[in-house]
């Protein structure tokens, strides 16, 4: 798990990104502007029409698999700086733009995002860790406009809700988002499938919702292992046989 702050869209940053995109250059961008003191950048260039902004952001996020948290570095011969800027904890505002560019006779599309305050800081040649490892939202404050959790959002910025129920069934169940109820794996019960049942129904049917056995005719006991044998009519329950 990790913590990074909620990032908000900023129209002024979008204008800064648009100005950068209009240049059609991928060279290092200025860290400062007349409005913002420190800007971080993510830039992507691809043939026109082959990708979308969502794909680009997902691609930046995928770089996370090549990021080594303990050292703050990328794996050897890998790129992860787009990812680290994307999740930089103190980058609270973002603005993006796209531009159609003619480069060497071919039309290409440039995607640019500007972040403030910018990330990817270095101190004495060492990259600063972009976020603090810990529980979800553990450092969120009441002044923040939101705090999204990975398990109920998808997309490169975790911006697409996929779990309207705002609940999880843990490792032993699947959430039915229509009813907001958990379908528990065999042997587990409870609202969140958090209770493990060790009951073995030898001669009966397992009642999942109660974590108990419904015994076949002629058997009783907690696990329906006891056989009921009577000369006359009998009745039985899951706990005992009675005449």
Map out the domains of the chain as residue ranges: 8-132, 173-242
Q: Which long-range contacts (CB under 8 A, 24 or more apart) does 142-147 make?
A: 144/5, 144/6, 145/6, 145/8, 146/6, 147/6
Average pLDDT of span 144-168: 53
pLDDT, position 159: 45
Instruction: Assign 25 a pLDDT band (cuts: 50, 70, 90).
Output: confident
pTM exceeds 0.85: no
For residue 72, how many C-alpha atoms fall within 13 Å in the half-sphere facing its CB?
Answer: 15
- Tokens found for residue 198: 């060790």
What is d(CA 173, CA 40) in angstroms, rounded to the nearest whole number? 41
Distance CA 168, CA 192 (A): 7
Under the banding of pLDDT at 50, 70 and 90, the label for residue 2 is very low
pLDDT of residue 38: 85
Residue 14 token pair? 């979008």
Range scoring the smallest mean pLDDT among 4-13, 49-58, 91-100, 134-143? 134-143
CA atoms within 13 A on the CB side of 73: 6
pLDDT tens digits, one per residue of 74-94:
999 999 999 999 988 888 899
Percent helix, strand, coil in the chain (nearest 5)? Answer: 15, 30, 55
- DSSP state letter for 161: E
Domain 8-132 has CATH 2.60.40.1510: no
pLDDT digits (tens, 9 = 90+) for 102-113: 988 899 999 999
* Residue 195: predicted pLDDT: 79
């Amino acid at each position: 798990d990790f913590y990074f702050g909620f990032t908000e869209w900023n129209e002024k940053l979008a204008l800064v990104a648009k100005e950068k995109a209009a240049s059609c250059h991928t060279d290092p961008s200025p860290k400062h502007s007349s409005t913002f003191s420190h800007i971080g950048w993510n830039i992507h260039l691809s043939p026109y029409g082959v990708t979308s902004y969502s794909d680009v952001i997902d691609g930046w996020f995928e770089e996370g698999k090549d990021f080594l948290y303990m050292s703050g570095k990328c794996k050897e011969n890998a790129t992860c700086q787009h990812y680290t800027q994307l999740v930089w904890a103190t980058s609270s505002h973002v603005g993006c733009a796209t531009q159609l560019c003619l480069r060497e006779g071919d039309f290409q599309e440039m995607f640019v995002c500007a972040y403030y305050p910018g990330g990817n800081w270095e101190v004495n040649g060492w990259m600063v860790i972009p976020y603090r490892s810990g529980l979800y939202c553990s450092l969120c404050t009441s002044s923040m406009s939101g705090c999204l959790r990975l398990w109920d959002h998808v997309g490169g910025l975790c911006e697409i809700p996929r779990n309207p129920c705002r609940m999880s069934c843990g490792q032993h169940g699947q959430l039915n988002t229509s009813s907001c109820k958990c379908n528990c794996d065999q042997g587990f019960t409870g609202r969140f499938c958090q209770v493990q049942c060790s009951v073995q129904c030898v001669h009966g049917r397992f009642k999942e919702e109660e974590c108990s056995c419904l015994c076949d005719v002629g058997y009783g006991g907690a696990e329906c292992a006891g056989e009921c044998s009577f000369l006359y009519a009998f009745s039985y329950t899951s706990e005992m046989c009675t005449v």
